[in-house]
Every structure is written in C-alpha cells, then in structure tokens.
Amino acid sequence: MRAAHRELEKLKRELSGPPSDFTGAFLKTQNLRRLIHQSPAVVDEGTVRLLGKILTHPPYQAQKQAYFFSRETALGLRDLLETSPHPNVVHQARRLLERLCLEPHGACQRAACEALGALPVPMGSPPPSFHVDPWCVPVLSWQHVLSSSQISEPEGYWKRCGRSFWKPSSKTGRLVVFKTAKDPESAEALFREIQWMRFLNENPLLCPEDTAQLPAPLTPNGPWLCRVESFPKACSPLDHGHRDKLWAIVFTAPLNYFDYPNQPKEGRMLPKAAFLAAMVRSARELARLATQGILHTAPIPLFHNRVQAHRREDAGLYRWPRAGRLDRWLASCDYPNFGASGVRDLEHLEPAGANGVPIYEQIGAHLLSLFLVCGSYFRNRDRRLRGLQADGTPVDVRNWFDKAFFIKLMESIFRAYYEAFAGQEAPMTIPGQVERLVERMIEEMGVDRHMEEILRVADQNSMTDEEFWTFLEERGYSRIEARRLVRGKDDVVLLTGPHLGAFNDRISLPELIQFVGAAAALCISGRYFCERQGPRNLASRPS
C-alpha cells in the first residue's frame, strides 16, 4: 500500500507541474489508470481534481489523438466509480463525469459519456427467445380463421395500413387486426411479434402504464402463426397476386392503435397536450422494457445510407455515436413504432445484447428517435412542403416550430425516460442544454438544405435494368425519365431528402448527437447509483 501511495504521489507531482508533451502526459495517465485499477484505496479527492484538470486542458484537447487521451482519463474516473472504497471520491468522480457530459468539450465530452455509459447496470431476467419454422405452421381457410377466432362480424369494410388490415369489434371495443407476410423471413418476424404480445400480457408489470393498451393475441391458445388460404379480395392487404397462403397473425389492439402522434388526422395535427402525453408515455414504456432487458431496436427506422445498404457491412443502419449524416430524417419519422397506445411493432423487440449493440447505444437510439419525431410534429402540418422550391432554394419553415413547446417536449421526454430507467428523479441540469439544442434543431430541421442522395455506378451495377428503373421511379423520376438513363454509365444524383447532412458526410446537427450521448450516459449513471443506494426504485411504480 505504501509503495502504491508513493507511486501515486509521484504521478500527481509530474502531472500537476508545467504541462508536459502530449505523449508523455498520455503515458503518465495510463500509468495512473493502472494504479487506480490495482490500488483504488490510495486514490484521494485531489487525484480526481487532477484528472478533471487534465481532461479539459486545451492544448491536450487540440491534439489529433485527443479522443484516445480523453477516453483513457475518463475510464480511470469510471474505474473509481466502481472500485473506490471512499464515498467522497466516488461522489466527486461521478459529479465530474456527469458535468463533462453536458459541456461542449468535444473529445472530452464524448469520452465522459462513453465512460458513464459503460457502467454495469442490471437488466432483469433475460426474456425468452422465439423461433418457428414458417413452413410447419397450419394452413387454414379464411372462414376457419374467422370462426376459430370468434370474429362475429366478418363482413363489411376492413381498413388497411401496410401489411395489416383491421376493423373495430363491437363485441370487445377493440380493433381486430390481421397482419400478414408473404415470405418466410417476414413470417418469422410475425411469430416473434405475437409471442412478445403474449409474453407482455402475461407479465403486466413489465408495462405498468396500462396493460389494456397493449396489443394481445386474439386466441390465447393459438395457433400463433398460420397460413391463410385466399383472403377475400375486398379486404386483402396485398395485391391480388399475393393473396394465396399468406402467413398471418391475428390480434386485438386499442382503437387508436393505428393513430400516429406526429401525423395529421382528418387534416388536423394532434393537439399539443395529447402529443406530449403520447411521447412521454412512449418514453416511459421504452425505458421500462429496457430495465427488464427488453429493447425495442427500431422505434423509427434510422439509416446513414439507404442506397448502399446492400453492400455495407452495417447494412446502412445508423450508429449514432459515429455522428454520420442521417438519411431522410423526416421520412424516417413517418409511422413511428410508438404512439398514444404505447409501443407497437413488437417484432423489433430483442433481449439486451442479442445484436451486440451496447445498452448505452440502444438507449441513445430510443432518445434520438423520440427527439426526431418531435421535430417531425412541427413539419407535418403540411407534408407537401418539403425539399426545394421552384427557384431551387430550400424550403424554409422554421416559423412553424414552437420553440417553447419544443423545449418542453425535449425536457419531458428526457425526464420520463430517465425516471423510468434510473428509478429516481431526473437531474435538473438539463434545461439549459435543451434550449440551446432546440435552437439548432429548428435551424436544421426547419430548412431543407440537404436533399441529395447519390446512386453510385457500383450500386447500379448490382441491379438489373428493371430494378434500376424502378429504383429511380420510387425516388421521383417519371417512367420516361428513368428509361432515358443508362445503368452503370454515371453516378445519378437524386433529391430524396431532407437529410441531416450531405451525402456520405457528417451529421449537420452534431449538437443532437452530443445531447443524446449525454442523456443516455446520465440514464445509465442514474440507474447504477440508484441500485447501489438501495431499493428506491420509481421504475416499478405505475404513474
């Protein structure tokens, strides 16, 4: 112990003196972290203050390798949170890291967020995994499904939304929903969805908001997934050519299940209070499921690059810590997988860790999705007004945004998610950060500066001519215009935005990524310390 103390004092003197060269400071910081790991009991509050000074030293932050230096220093502080026997040292290290999360120090801010985000938090018992062979499910007639499901009103008009069609039942006061798939992979996703419905309804404490708002299998004893022969043409959710032996699940849902909070209904946007309530509810549900090790992996579909998805290792999916350009942000917010009735599209639920993405990044993706949908709420008052105007200038609707309400949305969503996940009241240091962030969000979300997407020759060469032409037509080309282009000759510029950032560039709203990282880190830090302090857990209490 004495040797460790002497080594600590020597390192502190060397790091406290006149700033050394960057490489020398980096090596000394690595030695200090090694010492913290080996002998945490010798570390005092002065060491924490010194690490904070080093972390924010401007000459070090100006170096190209500043992130790696900052990460090593921040991880030393994180090690103290887990191993120091001195409560005052732990408190000071936590306060320092949480403060740095909320300050615009670049590499230092990112390192502090990632250090807190890596704290171990309990995630509840792992939920079951669900698998099925789609070719081994029963094949049933349409009439048999209706009769076995006790649907007493088979006739009449069924409404359609994507692969689903539904109608209200006077018997239950809920919607009866058929959701279909035409290929085995999609059928497996349907099976996962219906099994998650069963699991959540059998474990109501996982979603304590209101179990009656959950979708539920119509027939409690199955069959969960079947193939249905010959849907009637009047209510088929797919083209006539795909109506034979579709895979399907049948479930009931609240009457507002297909109402999307950020979409106009009968020409009017949802009132502000109702939109706020829907977003807060969704934040709570996503967080409470996460505490039990159940993560919704697609609250909205987020992509960095859709057009190159087939040849990218990441399939074009958005990894927000990389802060890349966010592809078609406004289109991604159409039909979110959450709403007034809570989360939906349960096929996207996965046990924590199943896809290899850290919980810190998953929480950030939840918050990013919620914040983007807030921005879309202001834009969707007229969905036709997007892109470029006739004179080539970008659409500018910044005056559509209500700054005060936007701030309230952001604060309320963070607070709801934090309290549901961490089990304690949210810190009050966030509001000042939100006001500055919202100003930047209005600036970037309200003006469609970034509209271009580029279809590279390499991507064209992976298509047939028909696929190439169809791709162009889906993105605004007329049939005649599409067929004038020769596949594989030149890159094709498409106006598919608005995007947040130029094609294959950084996001044009880095402040949002920084805030998402800070918010996710604070959630994890809050839960970690709440668990250490004892069972004062708000997450288990219905609101």
- 71 Cβ contact partners less than 8 Å away, ≥ 6 residues apart: 111, 114, 115
Average pLDDT estimate for 2-8: 86
Q: Would residue 480 count as lying in a domain?
A: yes
Is residue 291 located within the same domain as residue 408? yes
Give the predicted TM-score (pTM) of the model.
0.92
Find where tokens 């809920």 sit. 174
Q: Would residue 261 count as lying in a domain?
A: no
Q: E strands within 236-359?
A: 246-253, 294-296, 338-339, 342-343, 349-351
The count of domains in the chain is 4
Domain final position from 226, 253, 280: 253
Is residue 92 located within the same domain as residue 174? no
Residue 271 has pLDDT above 90, yes or no: yes
pLDDT, tens digit, 9 for 90 and up, residues 277-294: 999 999 999 999 999 999
pLDDT, tens digit, 9 for 90 and up, residues 193-252: 999 999 998 888 777 666 678 899 987 666 689 898 877 665 654 554 555 678 999 999
Q: Would residue 122 count as lying in a domain?
A: no
Torsion-angle region of 315 (φ positive above 0: left; ψ -120 to 50: alpha; else: beta): left
Residue 145 has pLDDT above 80, yes or no: no
Is residue 150 located within the same domain as residue 222? yes
Predicted pLDDT of residue 538: 45
Average pLDDT estimate for 425-452: 89
Q: How far apart are CA 76 and CA 32, in angstroms?
A: 8
Lowest-pLDDT range of 198-207, 209-218, 296-305, 406-415: 209-218
Is residue 393 located within the same domain as residue 519? yes
Is residue 202 located within the same domain as residue 303? no
Predicted pLDDT of residue 305: 79
Is residue 57 located within the same domain as residue 110? yes
Domain final position from 253, 282, 315: 253
Q: Residue 178 phi/psi, 5° resolution?
A: -100, 125
Predicted pLDDT of residue 71: 95
Question: Strand, helix or coil at 3?
Answer: helix
Is residue 444 located within the same domain as residue 462? no
Is residue 421 located within the same domain as residue 280? yes
Residue 284: which of 353, 253, 276, 355 has the closest Cα? 276
Is residue 486 located within the same domain as residue 406? no
Find where tokens 């950020």 sit. 262
Q: Would residue 262 count as lying in a domain?
A: no
Q: Would residue 128 count as lying in a domain?
A: no
Is residue 345 located within the same domain as residue 433? yes
Give the angle 513-104-40 at the CA atoms, nearest 5°: 95
Domain around 285:
272-448+508-540
Is residue 140 located within the same domain as residue 287? no
Q: Tokens in use for 326?
A: 């966010």
Average pLDDT estimate for 309-322: 75
Q: Would residue 99 count as lying in a domain?
A: yes
Q: Would residue 258 count as lying in a domain?
A: no
Is residue 175 located within the same domain as residue 304? no
Q: Would residue 38 count as lying in a domain?
A: yes
Domain final position from 54, 85, 117: 117
